[in-house]
């Protein structure tokens, strides 16, 4: 961190706070993107697949209501169930792919942010500026 050694505790606390907040925002974004993509992709892919498997158009809405439940196998033919299951797998793959692309965007922003950070190599030495208060060298601490 590019702060004075006496301020490392505060900087670490603020850094941790931002990490937790960013994690919560990231989780929310990923979950929202995943659910929205899965919903739209399921509607598109499963509808197309079951129609091609011979399901009448008027039964598609009923199938979509039970596509992720055990009722699917009992209410529809094996061909329709197989087509719906394969299409649902494709929908999940698509949703996960979109989440990965969103994650890549966050990663690129993170790399740019890292490139903008201050160089702290000059601070990497054996000099101790702040001693622990309960340490045997506590009397050397000029900040307390």
Rounded distance between C-alpha atoms, residue 88 and residue 68, angstroms: 9
- The one-character DSSP state at 118 is P
Rounded distance between C-alpha atoms, residue 68 and residue 85, angstroms: 9
Give me the residue label for tokens 């899965």: 38
Domain containing residue 81: 5-113
Residue 136 resides in a domain: no
Residue 134 resides in a domain: no
Q: Which of 38-47, 94-103, 117-126 has the lowest mean pLDDT?
A: 117-126
Residue 45 resides in a domain: yes
Residue 103 resides in a domain: yes
Residue 97 resides in a domain: yes
Residue 142 resides in a domain: no
Q: Total domain count for the chain?
A: 1
Report the pLDDT value the prediction gives residue 74, as an integer from 0 to 100: 92
CB atoms under 10 Å from CB of 117, counted, come to 9
Task: Tell me the per-residue pLDDT of 11-20, one tens digit each, with 9 for 90 and over.
Answer: 999 999 999 9
Is residue 123 predicted with pLDDT exceeding 90? Answer: no
What token pair was written down for 61?
């809405």
Of 32 and 12, more confident? 32
CA angle 28, 15, 118 (to 5 degrees): 120
Residue 70 resides in a domain: yes
Kindly report each contact of residues 76-79 with a partner whose C-beta sits within 8 Å and lies 24 or more positions away, as own/partner.
76/50, 79/53, 79/54
Report the pLDDT value the prediction gives residue 143, as an integer from 0 to 100: 63
Rounded distance between C-alpha atoms, residue 141 and residue 5, angstroms: 12
Report the pLDDT value the prediction gives residue 9, as an integer from 0 to 100: 86
Residue 92 resides in a domain: yes
Is residue 144 predicted with pLDDT exceeding 70? Answer: no
């Amino acid at each position: 961190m590019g702060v004075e050694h006496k301020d490392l505790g505060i900087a670490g606390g603020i850094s941790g706070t931002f990490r937790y907040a960013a994690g919560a925002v990231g989780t929310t974004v990923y979950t929202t993107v995943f659910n929205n993509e899965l919903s739209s992709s399921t509607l598109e892919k499963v509808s197309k697949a079951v129609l091609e498997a011979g399901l009448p158009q008027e039964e598609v809405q009923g199938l979509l209501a039970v596509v992720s439940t055990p009722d699917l196998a009992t209410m529809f033919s094996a061909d329709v169930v197989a087509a719906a299951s394969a299409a649902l797998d494709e929908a999940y793959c698509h949703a996960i792919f979109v989440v990965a692309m969103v994650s890549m965007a966050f990663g690129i922003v993170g790399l740019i942010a890292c490139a903008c950070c201050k160089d702290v190599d000059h601070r990497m030495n054996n000099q101790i500026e702040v001693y622990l208060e309960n340490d045997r060298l506590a009397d050397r601490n000029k900040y307390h």
